[in-house]
Chain A
Amino acid sequence: DAKTTQPPSMDCAEGRAANLPCNHSTISGNEYVYWYRQIHSQGPQYIIHGLKNNETNEMASLIITEDRKSSTLILPHATLRDTAVYYCIVRYTGANSKLTFGKGITLSVRP
């Protein structure tokens, strides 16, 4: 699987948008970009995934650049409960395709 790089940490103010960047310059044409988050001492939570078009759901928006070499996860109105480690992972679909977790980015939402 292609690797991703994320800054180690960032913070944002409660109520503001949190924009989490991810680089995946070696992504191949049929690999998807997945985002998960892990709140301390819990299992990871699926957030969103996409191939090349921007995606939006009730949790977040995913913006993928046209060349697909980078993406941004946007939490439109961050709350204190959004404080977590966020993982950006690229993966093929299919049962034999694994999720490989890197170090992720620690998002701290401040009051």
Chain B
Amino acid sequence: GAVVSQHPSWVICKSGTSVKIECRSLDFQATTMFWYRQFPKQSLMLMATSNEGSKATYEQGVEKDKFLINHASLTLSTLTVTSAHPEDSSFYICSALTSGGAKDTQYFGPGTRLTVL
């Protein structure tokens, strides 16, 4: 299957600072990438859809000014959590969509665990 990486795998930061998470598709180009968040013992919740070269589309209730998404190339999307607070502590997971009609599939990165102190 296709490979998606994330960096960093974990990060601890102080309240009020910003954190950037990178998502890369390693062996395929992805016009569309997705960002999810997962709190303990809960399922994944979609935060936003990121399309290369255009603005991201955010799900209802997700603050676009707090969670900045940039998809500047076909293999890289970044999520920046601005002015992070303890309630932003979560497991952030990206996915990249392969193209190809019936074969199109989202492949997920390993996730980034964010802890805000």
Contacts and interface: CB of A to CB of B under 8 A. Distances in A.
Interface of A: 32, 34, 36, 38, 41-46, 49, 51, 87, 93-96, 98-104
Interface of A is mostly: loop
Contacts of A46: 1, 105-108
Nearest to A95: B32
B94 to A, nearest CB: 8
A68 to B, nearest CB: 15
A44 B1 CA distance: 13
Interface residues of B, number: 29
Nearest to B112: A43
Contacts of A34: 105
Given A43-B110, A98-B46, A49 B97 contact: no
A46 B97 CA distance: 12
Q: By CB atoms of chain B within 10 A, which of A32, A44, A102 has the most?
A: A44
A94 B105 CA distance: 9
A93 B105 CA distance: 8
